[in-house]
Amino acid sequence: MSRSPNARLQVKVKWLAAAVILLCIAACGRSKLASNAPCDNSLTREIPARPNGAPDGKQFGRQLEGLSDDDERELLIRGELLTGNIPDFLRRFVPVRFSAAQPDGHVAQIVVCAAPDYLAIGSNRDFLLMPMRLETALAMAIRFDLTLPTPKMVDGIYAQAAVHLAPRPLPAADAMRSTEYYRHHSDLIRAQRLALGAVPGDLTAGDKKDLVLTNRLWGNLDRVAIYGWHLSDNSPIQPLSTVHGWRYADYSHGVRLISTRVWVDGVPRLIFDVLQDRQLSAALSHEGDIPNVVQLIRVLSADPHTAVATLTPDSQN
């Protein structure tokens, strides 16, 4: 029995309404996914693609063998990083969530996008976790439009990490700063990953201390600030310290890159603006705001000795 024109029209309207509902559901799902995963690949677009034929971790470690001059090693590290000899998994940042109560009672929700592990040289299958001087770390961060964490960010990363590695301290000695120690410690961490079945790209913590940003550096422009190496009870082996000189690096240090773009209640902001905001900064810094943090980073990435006598937190950019 054939349907009347009105009946056929009603069927078409019902199908059209159902299609609209399905499209809305799909769009809402995509919107929810985007809000849960704001750390897209655009955040690391300034890092060059890894070149064909670039040395892997073992090969680069062999290139560093026998270097008695730390300056020469730092130059080689910079050279590889600038060419993009960085594993692909380190380019896919992971959201880490923080919150801070505001004077009006509102609790601001802040999403920070962090590298899933410490900066390394090599490929996804063979990489060398790479300690380096603060100068080198900040120069690379600036080049890639990224930055370093604060101690509170380090705490948050550890608390929210999918993979927790137990710290593996090596005997204290002059050799702590040697390439041999760098390579051996990276191998120990690789063995830990394999034992746990951890996948590169999962948010990982506990394997290194962090180079960090802190207000203490304003009074110690010739020093490096280190913090972290958390134990399973969420406490760090290394309290915040500025004992070591600005050019110091050893096997236990790691460089965790952080995006300069954060989300505050879903709205993108510069992380530096948040760190200088007296209310919002409490979410990311135990110390509260860090005045003129961009200037601080620029000084420490160059030669702070020329600026020690003239710079203060209140200096203008």
- Contacts of the segment 2-10: beta carbons below 8 A, 24+ positions apart: none
Under the banding of pLDDT at 50, 70 and 90, the label for residue 92 is: very high
What's the rounded Cα separation, in Å, for the pair 143 and 150?
Answer: 19
The beta strands (E) that lie in 89-235 are given as 94-101, 107-114, 120-122, 127-129, 146-147, 163-164, 204-205, 209-211, 226-230
- Among residues 115, 143, 120, the alpha carbon closest in space to that of 61 is found at 120
- CA atoms in the 13 A half-sphere facing the CB of 171: 4
What pTM value is reported for the model?
Answer: 0.85
What's the rounded Cα separation, in Å, for the pair 237 and 87?
Answer: 28
Q: Examine the pLDDT at 223 and tell me if it is beyond 80.
A: yes
The full set of domain ranges for the chain reads 37-306
The fraction of the chain above a pLDDT of 70, given in percent, is: 84
Q: Mean of the per-residue pLDDT values for the chain? A: 88
Q: What is the pLDDT of residues 114-157, one digit of tens each?
A: 999 999 999 999 999 999 999 999 999 999 999 999 999 999 99
Under the banding of pLDDT at 50, 70 and 90, the label for residue 203 is: very high
Contacts of 304 (CB under 8 A, 6+ apart): 221, 222, 246
pLDDT of residue 28: 42
